[in-house]
């Protein structure tokens, strides 16, 4: 009995070994088959991917179009609160800016009211002083506009001719432009006025430096920049100083702008006119009532 039991166990062990060996052989065969078909499977996968890539753009376009149609109304509804918030922010920002502007305007109005009160006080004080000194104000000046029809700028003369028709222009009237003094009327013949420019060699205008009130004479020398002469030796003259008429000798009223100092040296002081005289097309002839005084001065000189 014992021998028979050992034989049965031996038979069972051999059977198990055989079945294990058979399973191992089947697995090896499956691996070989997988290796054989791996290349075919990879080729098929690459082909499928190529086909999918071709149709990818069309699929994406169709998908995006459908998503857009579905999402557009939803996005439109969601954007409404954002728009309302943006408008509200802009509205309150504008209110803040308006408030700031109103505050600055109130402060400016307050300053203007103070200046207005000071102006009224000065006006009253000026009237009282004028009455006290029996001051006679200057008469209001009349003026007319005239078109320049001819000009002469050479080494011997700097002048121009303006058409005044019957505008009652006369010798001694001041000629101005938008910038300042241009010259003065020398004579009027048949509706045409000859104007001596401030750059002409015969032009002599009493002037002064606006800031320092130092007086001198602006003398033309037939160049584009006349000279400032008869200035005190100790006077401080700087480039950029503004030159205005002084009112001396009755040629021009005081305070009319003439030019600016352009060059300062030991030998001379040059003044650049405020107006480009070579580009004038229209001038303003102003009647200060000094024509008769100039004529009487010239008659005395002749005597």
Residues 144-169: tens digit of each pLDDT: 889 999 998 887 889 999 999 877 88
If asked whether residues 167 and 273 sit together in one domain, one would say: yes
pLDDT at 6: 40
Do residues 186 and 43 both lie within one domain? no
Give the up-direction half-sphere exposure of residue 40: CA atoms within 13 A in the CB hemisphere.
5
Structural domain total, the chain: 2
**What pLDDT is attached to residue 11?**
46
- Shared domain for 46 and 171, answered yes or no, is no
Helix (H, G, I), strand (E, B), or coil: what is residue 177? coil
Task: Give the helix/strand (H/E) hosting 195.
Answer: strand 192-197
Query: Which among 134, 126, 162, 135 has a CA at the least distance from the CA of 146?
Result: 162
Residues 33 and 165 in one domain: no
Residue 108 lies in a domain: no
Whether 292 and 150 share a structural domain: yes
In a domain, 179, yes or no: yes
**pLDDT, tens digit (0-9, with 9 covering 90-100), for 179-205:** 889 999 999 998 999 999 999 999 999
In a shared domain, residues 258 and 153: yes
Say if 25 falls within a structural domain.
yes
The pLDDT, as a whole number, for residue 5 is 42
Place of tokens 């939803």: 74
Q: Which of 178, 141, 129 is nearest to 279 (CA)?
A: 178
Domain residues for the domain of 44 are 2-54
Q: Is residue 226 part of a domain?
A: yes
Distance CA 171, CA 298 (A): 11
The CATH number linked to 265 is 2.40.10.350
Domain assignment present for 164: yes
The last residue of one of the domains, among 54, 70, 94, is 54
Q: Are residues 172 and 46 in the same domain?
A: no
Task: Please report whether residue 96 resides in a domain.
Answer: no
The pLDDT value given to residue 8: 40
- Residue 67 resides in a domain: no
Residue 219 lies in a domain: yes
163 and 27 assigned to the same domain: no
CA distance 242 to 273: 10
pTM value > 0.85: no
CB 220 within 8 A of CB 142: no
* DSSP 8-state code for residue 201: T
Each residue's pLDDT, cut to its tens digit, for the chain (303 residues) gives: 444 444 444 444 554 555 555 655 665 666 666 566 666 666 666 666 666 555 555 555 565 566 566 656 655 665 667 677 777 777 778 888 888 888 888 888 878 887 887 787 788 777 777 776 665 555 566 788 899 999 988 878 899 999 998 778 888 888 998 888 999 999 999 899 999 999 999 999 999 999 889 999 999 999 999 999 999 988 899 999 999 998 887 668 888 899 999 999 988 999 999 988 888 899 999 887 665 555 555 545 455
Same domain? For 153 and 288 the reply is yes
Helices (H), 134-218: none
């Amino acid at each position: 009995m014992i021998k028979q039991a050992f034989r049965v166990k031996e038979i069972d062990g051999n059977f198990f070994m055989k079945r294990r060996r058979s399973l191992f052989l089947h697995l090896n065969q499956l691996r070989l088959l997988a290796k054989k078909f791996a290349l075919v499977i990879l080729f098929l996968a690459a082909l499928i991917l190529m086909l999918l890539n071709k149709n990818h753009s069309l699929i994406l376009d169709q998908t995006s179009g459908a998503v857009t149609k579905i999402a557009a109304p939803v996005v439109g509804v969601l954007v409404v609160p954002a728009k309302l918030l943006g408008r509200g922010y802009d509205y309150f920002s504008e209110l803040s800016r308006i408030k700031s502007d109103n505050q600055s305007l109130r402060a400016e109005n307050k300053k203007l009211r103070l200046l207005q009160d000071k102006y009224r006080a000065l006006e009253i004080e000026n009237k009282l002083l004028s009455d006290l000194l029996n001051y006679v104000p200057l008469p209001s000046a009349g003026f007319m506009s005239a078109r320049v029809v001819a000009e002469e700028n050479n080494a011997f003369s700097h002048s121009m001719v303006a058409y005044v028709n019957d505008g009652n222009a006369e010798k001694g009237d001041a000629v101005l432009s938008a910038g300042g003094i241009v010259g003065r009327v020398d004579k009027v013949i048949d509706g045409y006025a000859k104007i001596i420019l401030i750059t002409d060699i015969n032009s002599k205008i009493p002037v002064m430096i606006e800031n320092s009130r130092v007086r001198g004479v602006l003398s033309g020398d037939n160049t584009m920049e006349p000279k400032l002469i008869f200035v005190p030796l100790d006077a401080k003259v700087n480039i950029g100083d503004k030159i205005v008429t002084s009112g001396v000798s009755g040629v021009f009223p005081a305070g009319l702008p003439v030019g600016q100092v352009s060059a300062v040296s030991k030998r001379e002081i040059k003044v650049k006119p405020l107006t480009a005289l070579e580009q004038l097309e229209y001038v303003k002839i102003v009647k200060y009532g000094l024509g008769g005084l100039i004529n009487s001065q010239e008659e005395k000189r002749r005597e």
